[in-house]
């Protein structure tokens, strides 16, 4: 701006002071005055240029502030409204996850031989489909409790269904690393079960999670856990549940239907590798567990044991650019009771056998926005009593397996589009080629992710 003007003004102001005594001044004095003027000039110039920079800064900041407000709501009116409704300050964080897919399957039947599979554990719907829209509400209740509600909205047979995925409270201020959770929540059995589907690396759950846990075990109950004060992360926990969710079922609530306990531990190997391993068991006593569209019924003891391992590798631990994860789970299920397959007309048949299943997957993030992954999962349905020969529980010696490849792109951490190809042989002679194109987007408050 007016640096010249200021300079001129200041020189003018000094002028009389220089002029009047100058008649008598010696050369030396003139030199001193010159030097003073020079230093004043420099001081003014630097001050002025400083002011100019500040002015420019302020101008650019003003522009930056005005721009977002101009496009939408007036900032002043927003603050006025929010100060009027200060009760809103305590509203829970609200988040929505939107999922949708297009799926094409080459095989008509998707029944997994040798297992009674619950409703959620089946293959996803063919063609264009909307997956569950998930609504999350979470907040601290007070200084001692927090709460979370997750509702899943979906449409089934033309009707909109609301499913209560999670509704729980949790203590936040118990000493010694102890916490207690009560309500309905995803249980820590194995690794994946505890995680919401939208954080999965593949479009569908691996075979063992589908058949043993009906995709995810979430029952109503109480669980306590403790994190030990050790350098190696170690957490122990146990819970009791009503026992209505698969692998439980038909509980009248007169007794605990299921109980669970787990141990998990983990740490780092150098800067690049992190790992976590767990052992867990879920013991259920279903009164009547319906599977395969209510045609397969089980009554008895169902004990599930799971081991899981997850490792991640990222150069210098910086997972923004590159990361490899390796993850696997192994399940054994021991069931002692009676099975009945009404389709095959078996009647109630005594059953006391082991079944097992496992999967192993690896995902490679090779670019900040792109990942590729491969997964193999396999089931072994074990021996079948003679009375169940030819029923859904008879796999005819076939071990169901699935191999899947996926590639996904995430524009930001809130949006992801995924393409997945899978080859599945769920029963003897059944070969299913699966193409799935899927989007997963989250809006609103985004919950922080666990390891």
Partner 1 sequence: MKYFITSFLCLLVLPLAAQAKVNIFACEPEWGALAQEIGGDQVDVTVAASARQDPHHIKAKPSLLAAMRKADLVFCNGASLEAGWLPVLQENAARPDTVFLFVADYVTKLGVATKVDRSMGDVHPDGNPHLVTDPRNIMRMAPVVADRLAAIDPAHAAEYQDRASAFHSRWQSLIAGWGKKAASLQGQNVVVYHEGWAYLLDWLKIRQVAALEPKPGIPPSASHLQDVLKSVEGKQIKAILVSPYQNPKAAEWLSEKTGIPVVGLAYTVGGNDRADTLEHLYDDTIDRLIRGQND
**In the complex, what is the shortest distance from the CB of residue 346 to partner 1, in angstroms, rounded to a whole number?**
44
**In the complex, what is the shortest distance from the CB of residue 321 to partner 1, in angstroms, rounded to a whole number?**
6
| HEC readout, 318-336 | CCCCCEEEEEEEEEEEEEE
Q: 358, 208 in Cβ contact below 8 A?
A: yes
Residues within window 1-40 making contact with partner 1, judged by CB under 8 A? none
Q: Give the 3-state secondary structure of residue 397.
A: coil
Q: What is the dihedral of CA 310, 313, 317, 323, to 10 degrees?
A: -100
**In the complex, what is the shortest distance from the CB of residue 314 to partner 1, in angstroms, rounded to a whole number?**
8
267 belongs to the binding site for partner 1 (CB under 8 A): yes
C-alpha span between 304 and 248 (Å, rounded): 11
Q: 233, 265 in Cβ contact below 8 A?
A: yes
* Closer residue to partner 1, CB minimum distance, 369 or 428: 369
**In the complex, what is the shortest distance from the CB of residue 188 to partner 1, in angstroms, rounded to a whole number?**
11
Q: Give the 3-state secondary structure of residue 209.
A: helix
Q: Which residues of 261-270 are buried (b: 16+ CB within 10 A; e: fewer)?
A: bbebbbeeee
320 belongs to the binding site for partner 1 (CB under 8 A): yes
Q: Quickly count: other Cβ atoms within 10 Å of residue 304's Cβ.
A: 24
Binding part of the chain for partner 1, among 251-259, 328-336, 337-345, 406-414 by CB under 8 A, reads 406-414
**In the complex, what is the shortest distance from the CB of residue 347 to partner 1, in angstroms, rounded to a whole number?**
44
* Closer residue to partner 1, CB minimum distance, 36 or 321: 321
* Closer residue to partner 1, CB minimum distance, 231 or 294: 231
User: Which string of x and - marks every residue 411-440 that binds partner 1 (by CB under 8 A)?
Assistant: xxxx--------------------------
Q: Which phi and psi (to 5°) does residue 347 adopt? A: 70, 175
C-alpha span between 126 and 216 (Å, rounded): 21
91 belongs to the binding site for partner 1 (CB under 8 A): no
Q: 300, 335 in Cβ contact below 8 A?
A: yes
Residues within window 351-370 making contact with partner 1, judged by CB under 8 A? 368-369
Tokens of 341: 């397959």
User: Which string of x and - marks every residue 202-241 that binds partner 1 (by CB under 8 A)?
Assistant: ------------------------xxxxxxxxxx------
59 belongs to the binding site for partner 1 (CB under 8 A): no
Task: Identify the CA nearest to 393 among candidates 451, 439, 449, 337.
Answer: 337
Binding test (CB under 8 A) with partner 1, winner from 78, 104, 128, 130? 78
Binding part of the chain for partner 1, among 33-41, 49-57, 376-384, 420-428 by CB under 8 A, reads 49-57
Contacts with 364 (C-beta within 8 Å, 6 or more apart), sequence order = 323, 324, 371, 372, 373
Binding part of the chain for partner 1, among 169-177, 240-248, 329-337, 432-440 by CB under 8 A, reads 169-177
Binding part of the chain for partner 1, among 8-16, 99-107, 112-120, 170-178 by CB under 8 A, reads 170-178
Binding part of the chain for partner 1, among 21-29, 70-78, 159-167, 390-398 by CB under 8 A, reads 70-78
Task: Identify the CA nearest to 424 among candidates 119, 115, 122, 207.
Answer: 207
**In the complex, what is the shortest distance from the CB of residue 267 to partner 1, in angstroms, rounded to a whole number?**
5
DSSP 346-389: --SEEEEEEEEEEEEEEEEEEETTEEEEEEEEEEE-----GGGT
409 belongs to the binding site for partner 1 (CB under 8 A): no
Residues within window 372-391 making contact with partner 1, judged by CB under 8 A? none
CA distances from 387 to 94, 112, 351, 379, 391 (A): 52, 19, 9, 22, 9
* Closer residue to partner 1, CB minimum distance, 33 or 180: 180
* Closer residue to partner 1, CB minimum distance, 38 or 65: 65
Q: 211, 121 in Cβ contact below 8 A?
A: yes
Binding part of the chain for partner 1, among 37-45, 69-77, 194-202, 373-381 by CB under 8 A, reads 69-77
- DSSP E strands in 187-322: the ranges are 218-227, 233-241, 258-269, 273-284, 289-291, 296-313
**In the complex, what is the shortest distance from the CB of residue 335 to partner 1, in angstroms, rounded to a whole number?**
30
Residues within window 106-135 making contact with partner 1, judged by CB under 8 A? none
User: Which string of x and - marks every residue 275-294 that binds partner 1 (by CB under 8 A)?
Assistant: xx------------------
Q: Which phi and psi (to 5°) does residue 57 adopt? A: -55, -50
C-alpha span between 381 and 113 (Å, rounded): 8
Residues that bind partner 1 (CB under 8 A): 49-50, 52-54, 56-57, 60, 64-65, 68-69, 72-73, 75, 78, 146, 170, 172-177, 179, 226-235, 264-268, 271, 274-276, 312, 316-321, 368-369, 411-414, 443, 446-451
């Amino acid at each position: 701006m007016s640096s010249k003007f200021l300079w001129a003004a200041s020189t003018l102001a000094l002028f009389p002071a220089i002029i009047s005594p100058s008649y008598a001044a010696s050369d030396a004095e003139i030199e001193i005055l010159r030097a003073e003027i020079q230093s004043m000039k420099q001081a003014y110039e630097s001050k002025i240029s400083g002011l100019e920079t500040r002015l420019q800064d302020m101008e650019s900041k003003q522009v930056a502030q005005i721009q977002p407000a101009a496009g939408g709501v007036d900032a002043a009116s927003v603050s006025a409204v929010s100060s009027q409704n200060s009760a809103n300050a305590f509203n829970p964080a609200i988040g929505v996850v939107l999922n949708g897919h297009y799926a094409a399957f080459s095989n008509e039947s998707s029944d997994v031989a040798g297992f009674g599979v619950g409703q959620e554990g089946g293959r996803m719907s063919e063609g264009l489909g909307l997956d569950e829209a998930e609504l999350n509400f979470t907040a601290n209740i007070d200084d001692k409790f927090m709460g979370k509600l997750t509702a899943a909205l979906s449409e089934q047979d033309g009707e909109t269904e609301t499913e209560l995925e999670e509704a729980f409270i949790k203590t936040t201020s118990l000493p010694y690393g102890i916490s207690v959770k009560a309500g309905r929540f995803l249980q820590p059995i194995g690794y994946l079960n505890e995680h919401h589907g939208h954080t999965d690396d593949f479009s569908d759950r691996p075979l063992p999670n589908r058949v043993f846990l009906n995709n995810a075990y979430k029952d109503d109950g109480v669980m306590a856990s403790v994190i030990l004060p050790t350098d190696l992360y170690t957490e122990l926990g146990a819970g009791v549940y009503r026992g209505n969710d698969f692998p439980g079922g038909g509980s009248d609530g007169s007794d605990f239907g299921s109980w669970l306990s787990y141990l998990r531990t983990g740490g780092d190997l150098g800067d690049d590798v992190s790992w976590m391993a767990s052992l867990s068991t879920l013991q259920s006593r279903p009164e009547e567990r319906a599977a395969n569209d209510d045609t397969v019924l089980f009554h008895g003891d169902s004990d599930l044991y799971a081991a899981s391992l997850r490792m991640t590798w990222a150069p210098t631990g910086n997972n923004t650019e590159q990361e490899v994860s390796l993850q696997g789970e192994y399940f054994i299920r021991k069931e002692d009771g009676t099975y009945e397959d009404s389709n095959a007309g078996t009647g109630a048949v005594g059953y006391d056998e082991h079944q097992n299943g496992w999967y192993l997957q690896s995902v490679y993030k090779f670019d900040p926005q792109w990942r590729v992954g491969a997964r193999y999962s396999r089931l072994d349905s074990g021996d079948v009593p003679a009375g169940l020969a030819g029923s859904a529980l008879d796999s005819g010696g076939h071990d169901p397996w699935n191999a899947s490849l996926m590639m996904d792109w995430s524009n930001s951490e809130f949006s992801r589009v995924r393409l997945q190809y899978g080859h599945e042989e769920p029963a003897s002679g059944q070969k299913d080629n699966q193409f799935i194109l899927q989007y997963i987007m989250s809006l609103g408050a985004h919950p922080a992710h666990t390891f």
